[in-house]
Amino acid sequence: MPSSVRNYVRYEQSGKVSYGVLDGERVTRVDGDIFTGAEPTGESIRRSEVRLLWPCEPTKIMAVGLNYKSHLGDRPAPSRPELFFKPVSALLPPEGTIRIPEGAGNVHFEGELVIVIGRKTKAVSPEEAWGSIFGFTCGNDVSERDWQKGDLQWWRAKGADTFAPLGPAVAVGLDYRSCRIQTRVNGAVKQSQFLSDLLFDPSVVVSHASRALTLHPGDVIYTGTPGTTSALKPGDTVEVEIDGIGILKNSVAA
């Protein structure tokens, strides 16, 4: 990736939460608000010495359905981004454990590119929306398919605790169109697609959302999953990797 890409992480060390810039296996702590101008302090620590958290603190999580041709199956392509909510209580950090809820029997992975909003945004055009996008991270829109099909709303199918893994870093300055997303379960590749194949690019998604909602710095929008998905079981390890961002790795338990 170009040297102009900066990967911000949010981490905990000795009970203190800080933001930093991740470079390989080192994290350099930053001072200030990453959305308005954080500067490296020069204080560098090994990544292994900290616990990575979800990389921003959203007031809301949104997600797009049916945003890759490879995921449509026999369904028609939507004419606009189709958005839904996931609660912030579903957030899960890198290395956290996806918990299969009681009564759930068909919990699937959905590896996704995630937009991170960088400034207060309302009613912007797609062209203006690029200025509202701070960066991108990896996400896993964990979904219970039976609940998704059978319930009136997706509140538990998409929003159960631990169903929104996010991280490890927010890549700022990344040209997502040249990147590939790959989802692996226990090392086996389950999804692989170039992000340039999105039906609705991030600017269109942000513009559409902003016409009804005010977006705030740190808000995130999962942009949809490619290809097909399959059920997870206790003991599995899921990895969502995007070029230039890193690997979001989570275990699965009952």
Per-residue confidence (pLDDT) for residue 181, from 0 to 100: 98
- Taking CA atoms, 139 is separated from 38, 41, 95, 149, 196, in Å, by 24, 28, 13, 22, 17
- What is the distance between the alpha carbons of residues 228 and 240, in angstroms, rounded to a whole number? 14
CA 212 to chain centre: 22
Q: Which of 172, 133, 160, 139 is nearest to 54 (CA)?
A: 139
* Level-2 CATH architecture, domain 61-253: Alpha-Beta Complex (3.90)
Q: Which of 133, 227, 233, 179 is nearest to 2 (CA)?
A: 179
Written as tens digits, the pLDDT of the chain (254 aa) is 456 899 999 999 999 999 999 999 999 999 999 999 999 999 999 999 999 999 999 999 999 999 999 999 889 999 999 999 999 999 999 999 999 999 999 999 999 999 999 999 999 999 999 999 999 999 999 999 999 999 999 999 999 999 999 999 999 999 999 999 999 999 999 999 999 999 999 999 999 999 999 999 999 999 999 999 999 999 999 999 999 999 999 999 99
Q: Can you tell me whether residue 72 is helix, strand or coil?
A: helix
Q: Terminus-to-terminus CA distance in the chain, angstroms?
A: 37
Kindly give, in sequence order, each residue whose CB lies less than 8 Å from that of residue 191, ignoring residues fewer than 6 positions away: 111, 181, 182, 183, 225, 226, 227, 228, 229
Kindly give, in sequence order, each residue whose CB lies less than 8 Å from that of residue 170, ignoring residues fewer than 6 positions away: 7, 8, 9, 34, 55, 56, 116, 134, 135, 136, 137
Joined together, the tokens standing for residue 68 give 């890759």
Is 6-52's fold the same as 61-253's? Answer: no
Per-residue confidence (pLDDT) for residue 242, from 0 to 100: 98
Per-residue confidence (pLDDT) for residue 3, from 0 to 100: 60
User: For 6-52, which CATH superfamily applies?
Assistant: FAH (2.30.30.370)
Output the pTM of the full model.
0.97
- Taking CA atoms, 100 is separated from 2, 3, 68, 254, in Å, by 39, 39, 26, 5
Joined together, the tokens standing for residue 214 give 């005010």
What are the sequence ranges of the domains in the chain? 6-52, 61-253
Per-residue confidence (pLDDT) for residue 89, from 0 to 100: 98
How many helical (H) and strand (E) elements, i.e. helices and strands, does the chain have?
Answer: 4, 19
- What is the distance between the alpha carbons of residues 224 and 141, in angstroms, rounded to a whole number? 8
Q: Which of 55, 23, 22, 5 is nearest to 174 (CA)?
A: 5
Partners of 246 in the beta sheet? Answer: 242
